[in-house]
Amino acid sequence: MWPFDQGGAVLLLYVVTLALHAGFVAYVVAGSAFVLARREDPIAATVRDRLPFMLGCGITAGVAPLLFVQLLHQRRFYTANLLLGPRWMAVVPALIVGFYALYLAKADKWPRLALGVALACFGFVAWSWSELHELMQADPEWAAFYAAGHRVFTAATIAPRFVTVLGAMATLFAAIAVWSADAAGQRRLAVIALAGRVVSVAGAAWLWRAGFAVDGAAIIWFGILAGATAIDVGAWLLVWRRPSRRALGAATGVGAIVLLAAVVVREAPRVALIELHDDHSGGAVAFVIALGLGTAAIAWVVRQIRT
């Protein structure tokens, strides 16, 4: 099925691992904003304690999609890296500062300042990835960009892409945090999830007006995305009106479908640019085995810590 007949198992694994990474990252970014805005909320204490751990999970889960995008878009990925140069490499120290800022946010001294610094760092990283995503596809502009010595790439689609991602992060955060909240907290998180959907839909409309197009086989995935989003909104409305495990399960399950479909639609313009032509099925099998072993090891460590 398109687009996985273009990149095979590698593209499938890229989509799945990118979605997993997005879940952790969304919890960290939106969770930091939630704690900063609602310090007295009972949910905030739980979220604040989990933020450093979830960021570690997000960074670890980001290794696989980073390797896959290098494999799928070799020339474009490395060219974009070189063109941005030190500006792109700044994401590493930004992540380090943000990581330690989350630990400082758990202390009694200057927690709001620490959370503000962490959010600024994560926002910079998110914007940088949106920038890199667009530069990878801008072949005609590479020569002029390099000749001018620029280190910041500007395009009409970067800002709306960033807004769309931020909205999606709010809903993903709510979908994870809602399971450890009481009924009143679940209603508050449902409001956040619904607001996130409004922002992401508005950002997607802005992105479409800025030039992002979905055509061909990608229309099917766009239809899945639109339908699942509508159902997801209905599920969150149920959570808001009368929280129940069934409503929470529906919101979480349909939200996962929205996330996977959104990742495919996001990648649709780059599918035709895939540079992977050889058979890497053996590598995919090795990856699945390593993923299973790694997941089992992490689960064992978490269990030992909890007991």
The confidence band for 302, taking pLDDT boundaries of 50, 70 and 90, is confident
Please compute, for residue 232, the number of CA atoms within 13 A of its CA located in the half-sphere on the CB side: 29
Instruction: Give the span between the Cα atoms of 73 and 102, in whole angstroms.
Output: 33
Kindly tell me if the per-residue pLDDT of 31 is higher than 80.
Answer: yes
CATH at 244: 1.20.1630
Number of structural domains, the chain?
Answer: 1
Closest CA to 29 of 188, 165, 135: 165
Residue 145 lies in a domain: yes
**What pLDDT does residue 10 have?**
83
**What pLDDT does residue 109 have?**
79
**What pLDDT does residue 284 have?**
64
**What pLDDT does residue 21 have?**
94
Among 28-37, 58-67, 218-227, 292-301, the range scoring the smallest mean pLDDT is 292-301
Residue 288 lies in a domain: no
Residue 306 lies in a domain: no
Map residue 213 onto helix, strand or coil: coil
Instruction: Give the span between the Cα atoms of 204 and 167, in whole angstroms.
Output: 10
In single-letter form, the type of residue at position 43 comes to I
Residue 270 lies in a domain: yes
CA dihedral 107, 117, 201, 62 (to 10 degrees): -80
Kindly tell me if the per-residue pLDDT of 60 is higher than 80.
Answer: yes
Residue 189 lies in a domain: yes
Residue 52 lies in a domain: yes
Please compute, for residue 132, the number of CA atoms within 13 A of its CA located in the half-sphere on the CB side: 25
Q: What is the pTM assigned to this prediction? A: 0.88
Of 253 and 4, the structure prediction assigns the larger pLDDT to 253
CA dihedral 262, 267, 269, 273 (to 10 degrees): -170
- CA distances 164 to 52, 83, 127, 203, 286, Å, are 25, 25, 12, 4, 34
In sequence order, what DSSP letters do the residues of 156-178 get, joined into one string? TTHHHHHHHHHHHHHHHHHHHHG
List, in order, residues 6 or more apart from 178 with CB less than 8 Å away.
185, 186, 189, 190, 193, 239, 248, 251, 252
- Give the relative orientation of helices 4-37 and 111-136 as an angle to the nearest 10 degrees: 160
* Total number of residues shown for the chain: 307
Task: List, for residues 142-178, the tens digit of each pLDDT value.
Answer: 999 999 999 899 999 999 999 999 999 999 999 999 9
**What pLDDT does residue 280 have?**
52
58 lies in which domain range? 4-276
Residue 303 lies in a domain: no
Residue 290 lies in a domain: no
Cα-to-chain-centroid distance, residue 90: 19
Task: List, for residues 75-113, the tens digit of each pLDDT value.
Answer: 999 999 999 999 899 999 999 999 999 999 888 778 889
Strands (E), the chain: none
State both tokens at 202.
């508005």
Kindly tell me if the per-residue pLDDT of 23 is higher than 70.
Answer: yes
Kindly tell me if the per-residue pLDDT of 131 is higher than 90.
Answer: yes
